[in-house]
Structure 1
Amino acid sequence: MIDIVNQINATQREIGNQAVTGGPGRSVLLRRSYDAPVEDVWHACTDPERLGRWLGVVEGNLRVGGRFQLKENAGGEILRCEEPRLLKVTWLFGEGMPTEVEVRLSPGEDGRTLFELEHASPAQIVDELVNTYGPGGTIGIGVGWDLALLGLDLFLRDVEFDPASWQHTPEARDFATRGCHAWGRAVQVAWGTSDDDVATAVAFATQHFVPETDSAG
């Protein structure tokens, strides 16, 4: 069993205005600490074999300027790779304007690692999304990364975990639902959104981004 409440509370969530290449942007920022040294976390995030065990199978020319593709997920270009502290890539799922993901690592107390992941999108994309669907769409972006950070924690602690099979279980639904509420609070802090609008956004995000539960789950 996964301690869902502890995992949700382990991550700090923020909504920001991180610029992207070519102009202004909006971002979701996730920050948490891992009980592993920086070098270990770095290799878990950059070594193809290790990535495949918690995030997804990755292929491509894995160097600065090269392109990568996560199986059945996003792909993009590697913009920066400064071992063991900084990784920045473009992030594109399907057609549309590319977004940017930056992972930042720094040493923490007692040999731990402070991990930050910031996913920035062109302001035009986010503003159109919010105008159409409200802040619930932004919440959905954050919830997707919550699962990735959970997978990384379990991998670093050598806990057996298969995201593909887990994501349709009642436990996964609980995790994603709590994540939607946590991102709702981050939206309210960043944008001063009213309680009623936050509740509407969380309901939208839960409806669209919380996985269905398998009957056998």
Structure 2
Amino acid sequence: MSVRPTGRVFPTATGADLVIERSFQAPIEDVWASVSEPDRLARWFGRWSGEAGPGKYVMLQLGFEKDASPCRVLIESCRPPTHLAVCMKDDHGDWRLELTLEQRGDTTQLRFVQHLTDPGLVGDTGPGWEYYLDMLIAAHGGQPLPDFANYYPAQREYFASQIVAQQVAGADG
């Protein structure tokens, strides 16, 4: 099975932003619950524990990564049901992530952003976030979860080529 990548990479003053969007035929509060409640988040990403709130840390145990150690997640901003920004550190580096939800009629639009200080990593991280956001879609809809093998390494070149194209455009500018 081939899964088409949808993410885009945009240069920033400090690196690059990986941006991926998804749409849900559901109310914003329901989608918010899927990304913020421990039991619902565990269905597609991992389970968190602790006292949540802006400026506080929770512990996150990823549910679909082999041998993943729990990691501390700083909640930088939380404005239910529209915005969540977190920073986490694990064995693979620092992760600055944002989710923004917007209700548009009967549809909720999710915008995911990973702020990358090293844009060269997008070839490895982009496919993973495509996978996790498709896991969210599947878990939210009660559908079978996708297989990571359909995302990585198949999508690696797509994401890596966006960085190369930006570098070439920057050199020409």
TM-score range for the pair, normalised by the shorter chain length: 0.7 to 0.9
Within a 5 Å distance, the mapping from 1:83-162 to structure 2 comes to: 83-94=80-91, 98-108=94-104, 110-121=105-116, 123=117, 126=118, 135=120, 137-161=121-145
C-alpha displacement at 1:34, in angstroms? Answer: 2.3
1:81 maps to amino acid: C
Question: CA 1:42 to 1:56, structure 2 compared with 1: closer, same or farther past 3 Å?
Answer: same
Question: 1 or 2, which has the higher helix percentage?
Answer: 1
What is aligned with 2:168?
192
Match of 2:155 among 179, 201, 204: 179
TM-score, normalisation: structure 2: 0.79
Does the 8 A contact of 2:101 with 2:110 survive in 1? Answer: yes
User: How far apart, in 2, do the equivalents of 1:139 and 1:31 lie?
Assistant: 18
Gaps of 5+ in 2: 62-67
2:41 maps to amino acid: L
Q: Secondary structure at the match of 2:129?
A: helix
Does the 8 A contact of 2:52 with 2:75 survive in 1? Answer: yes
Does the 8 A contact of 1:13 with 1:182 survive in 2? Answer: no
C-alpha displacement at 1:99, in angstroms? Answer: 3.5
1:46 maps to amino acid: S
1:51 aligns with 2:41: yes
Q: Secondary structure at the match of 2:115?
A: strand
Q: Which string of whole-angstrom CA distances, capped at 9 and with x for unpartnered residues, describes residues 137-184 of structure 1?
A: 3211212211110110101111143xxxx7xxxx53233233223313
Across the two proteins, how many residue pairs are aligned to each other? 162
Aligned-residue sequence identity (percent) comes to: 22
Within a 5 Å distance, the mapping from 1:57-68 to structure 2 comes to: 57-68=47-58
Q: Secondary structure at the match of 1:58?
A: strand
Gaps of 5+ in 1: 194-217
Does the 8 A contact of 2:122 with 2:160 survive in 1? Answer: no
Question: CA 1:44 to 1:176, structure 2 compared with 1: closer, same or farther past 3 Å?
Answer: same
TM-score, normalisation: structure 1: 0.64
User: How far apart, in 1, do the equivalents of 2:9 and 2:27 lie?
Assistant: 24
Bigger CA radius of gyration: 1
What is aligned with 1:38?
28
Q: How big is the alpha-carbon RMSD for the aligned residues of Structure 1 and Structure 2?
A: 2.5
Does the 8 A contact of 2:54 with 2:78 survive in 1? Answer: yes
Q: Secondary structure at the match of 1:84?
A: coil
2:143 maps to amino acid: V
User: How far apart, in 2, do the equivalents of 1:114 and 1:42 lie?
Assistant: 11
Question: CA 1:25 to 1:60, structure 2 compared with 1: closer, same or farther past 3 Å?
Answer: farther
C-alpha displacement at 1:52, in angstroms? Answer: 0.8
User: How far apart, in 1, do the equivalents of 2:132 and 2:111 lie?
Assistant: 12
Does the 8 A contact of 1:146 with 1:179 survive in 2? Answer: no
Question: 1 or 2, which has the higher strand percentage?
Answer: 2
Question: CA 1:180 to 1:41, structure 2 compared with 1: closer, same or farther past 3 Å?
Answer: same
